Amino acid sequence: MWRAGSLRDRLTFLHATDIELRTVEDQFRTYTALLRGGAGLFAANRDTVTLAEFRAYVQRIEFQALYPGFLGIGFTPAIPASERERFAARAAALGVPDFRVRPPSDYPVLSPILFAEPPNPRNQAAIGYDVMSDPVRRDMVERARDSGQPAASARIQLVQEIDANKQAGFLVAMPVYAGGTVPPDLDERRRRYLGFVFGAFRADDLFNSIVAAEAEEDAAFAIYDGAPGEATLLHRSTVAPNTTPGRLTREATIELGGRTWTVLFEQRVSARRASALPEIGLVCGGGLLASALLAFAAFRQRRTQDEIRRLNASLEARVEERTRDLRDAAESLRQAGEERARIEEVLRQSQKMEAVGQLTGGLAHDFNNLLAGISGSLELIETRIGQGRSKDVAKYIAAAQGAAKRAAALTHRLLAFSRRQTLAPRAIDANRLVDGMLDLIQRTVGPAIDVRHTGADDLWPALVDPSQLENSLLNLCINARDAMPEGGRIVIATENRWIDRAQAAAHDMPEGQYLALCVSDTGTGMPPEVVARAFDPFFTTKPMGEGTGLGLSMIYGFAKQSGGQVRIASEVGAGTTVCLYLPRHRGEADAEGIDPERRPMAQAGAGETVLVVDDEPTVRMLVTDVLSDLGYTAVEAADGAGGLRVLQSDARVDLLVTDVGLPGGMNGRQMADAARVARPDLKVLFITGFAEAALFGNGPLEPGMAVLTKPFAVDALAARIREMIAPSTSPPPPRSPS
């Protein structure tokens, strides 16, 4: 009987400790799933989540109702220390006003708490606290960042402890990476690291809420972060009433988030579960009643075994019920995540279609207006010539040419936005370029606006198209002027910028060295929803007729095509700053060239021949007429195969003028490359509407090749043809034998 009672006590104690350990581990997995869902929110929103979106997620998972021991869930971004003051504007755009990073720190990377939900006084007290300022918290952050797994902190006192009722606590961090997935190697994880979603826990509140009272009645416990000691004590369970200490103890460890917790258990014995020791005395003292006592002992043994079986069933049922609840919660989270991803994909597709509709509608409107001007002018020219009123023809010609030039400007802006314009990059000194434009900018914005230029010494050069950069700068200054109807100040700043990994991830650009050209104004500023759409084509906040909505989209396309980026920082009532980031050029800036005086165009030499290949008859007619006026012999072909037949014959060809996009399976670049096998010195002038991949896909143009962008002026075409043929004073060598 004594053995049966002892066995019952041991099994009861072991089952109670097992269920307490399993409950803690299961709850930690549940909380990790909640944090993983918060991290997934960033992947679903292209790495940017506002306070309203984060708060909606916390409300949707019924945080306060289902997880009472969980003090708060939040997000902490990773930002360079140099962005400490400027980050306040970014926080305001995400819905967190009056943001301030604290305390001061010399660490090069900051991790201030940006969101902490639900918004109770304890969690609000944590907003702005720099987690990296504390070595214990910093260790947790770096383990999470480098491993890609959730990491728990050591025992700490939470920043949220703002009253006298203070408890030991700990944090759990779930890393967030650009793009959503965990990168495969350490360097990539550090480069794409954006911050972490965290859970904050008050230890006493947590363990009192998750450990069953019935289990605590059989086994009291204490949890330590590491080796047992007062400095590492996280929680000591409350001693159940009407219980006394037993003789059994147990020590166990739990691995949670990279930390090892030690759990010490002590048996508690209640009156209703007292052991069978009193019966042992009766057996020893009642020799005369041995048979009766033996029968009684057998009866008690059966009762003990029945109670053990009942306790086993009860404990297993509770474990199964808790496991089922956790599985259901995890499944609900998974389904909610899938539903959110589906809805967001539908929303993104809807936004894409809206942008396409806006783009095509804007194009149709503008081009219909321009075509009406061109078509109407041509009809009136025909009518006036028929009436013999030739004096009126000149103004209609001017009107048609003006409309055509505006159409060309519109297509150039669209190509700039789509990053398909043909650029002529040069190594430029941005300080010199800005200084040369200051007078023009000042005249454009008017005397009510003060224009200043602050240029850095030893500014790095950049390899860009100077005319496109000038257009971009002028556009930005005009936008700044329009934002200051009562006057103000425009500051054009140029400086060298080193973009590290964190900044590169935040700005969606490669890390490295950049020339930064920034235009700041003291105007009305823009709300976040306008900033988010500022680069959309045809989006404008100006009144009808005062803006096309293509200025910023053109600047965006030019910056991206040049290998850089453009970013806007704005606050309503506090002005706007737009920064162009252009990659540093390792060479020297080009010296300013002096345009030669215009001279009469030289005529063609005897027998000089030009092959014109274009599938558009109107363009072929235009080019051949220009060639005839200059005295050249023109040969025409409508596709690449026809042009190649001429080039592979013995005919003299001094220059090939060809479109890039040709029908028949052979484009202009392929035709030129094939012709140069037999005619290695053949000069080639490509005429194209945009920077096609077929033209530049195999690298830069070879010597003796040039590009002229459609639409072009006739005198520009004539000058380029003469320029390419003029250096050659003798006929080209005949075709090499194949």
**What is the reported pLDDT for 330?**
79
- Going by C-alpha positions, the residue among 563, 526, 523, 522 that lies closest to residue 541 is 526
Can you spell out the DSSP letters for 29-51? Answer: HHHHHHHHHHHHHHHHTTT---H
Is residue 172 within 8 Å of 150, Cβ to Cβ? yes
Are the CB atoms for 322 and 23 separated by under 8 Å? yes
Nearest to 462 by CA among 585, 345, 302: 585
Domain 609-725 CATH assignment equals 1.10.10.10: no
| pLDDT of the residue at 598 | 40
Query: Nearest-CA neighbor of 235 among 205, 200, 277, 256?
Result: 205
State which residues of the chain have pLDDT below 70. Answer: 1-5, 211-216, 240, 270-293, 297, 304, 307-308, 311-316, 318-319, 344, 346-370, 372-373, 406, 408-424, 537-551, 591-606, 689-701, 727-738
**Strands laid side by side in the 233-236 sheet:** 233-236, 219-225, 259-270, 243-256
Looking at 1.10.340.30, 3.30.565.10, 1.10.10.10, 3.30.2000.10, the CATH number of the domain 426-583 comes to 3.30.565.10
Q: Return the residue matching tokens 């930064």.
A: 516
Question: Residue 186: its pLDDT value, please?
Answer: 92
What is d(CA 432, CA 59) in angstroms, rounded to the nearest whole number?
Answer: 55
List of residues 6+ apart from 430 with CB closer than 8 A: 455, 459, 461, 462, 469, 494, 515, 517
At residue 541, the pLDDT reads 61
Secondary structure of 215-278 in HEC code, one letter for each residue: HHHHEEEEEEECCCCHHHEEEECCCCCCEEEEEEEEEEEEEECCEEEEEEEEEEEEHHHCCCHH
DSSP state at residue 252: E
Q: Where are the domains of the chain?
A: 29-209, 356-417, 426-583, 609-725
DSSP 3-state of 738? coil
Determine which helix (DSSP H) or strand (DSSP E) holds 380, and give its type and residue range.
helix 290-387
Is residue 668 within 8 A of residue 647, CB to CB? The reply is no
**Residue 360: what pLDDT?**
59
**Please, which residues bridge with residue 115 across strands?**
75
Residue 544, SS3?
coil
Count other Cβ atoms within 10 Å, centred on residue 106: 6
Q: Which amino acid is at 370?
A: L
| Three-state SS at 552 | helix
CATH of domain 29-209: 3.30.450.350
Burial class for 410, CB neighbours closer than 10 Å (0-12, 13-18, 19+): middle
Q: Nearest to residue 529, comparing CAs of 501, 570, 561, 585? A: 570
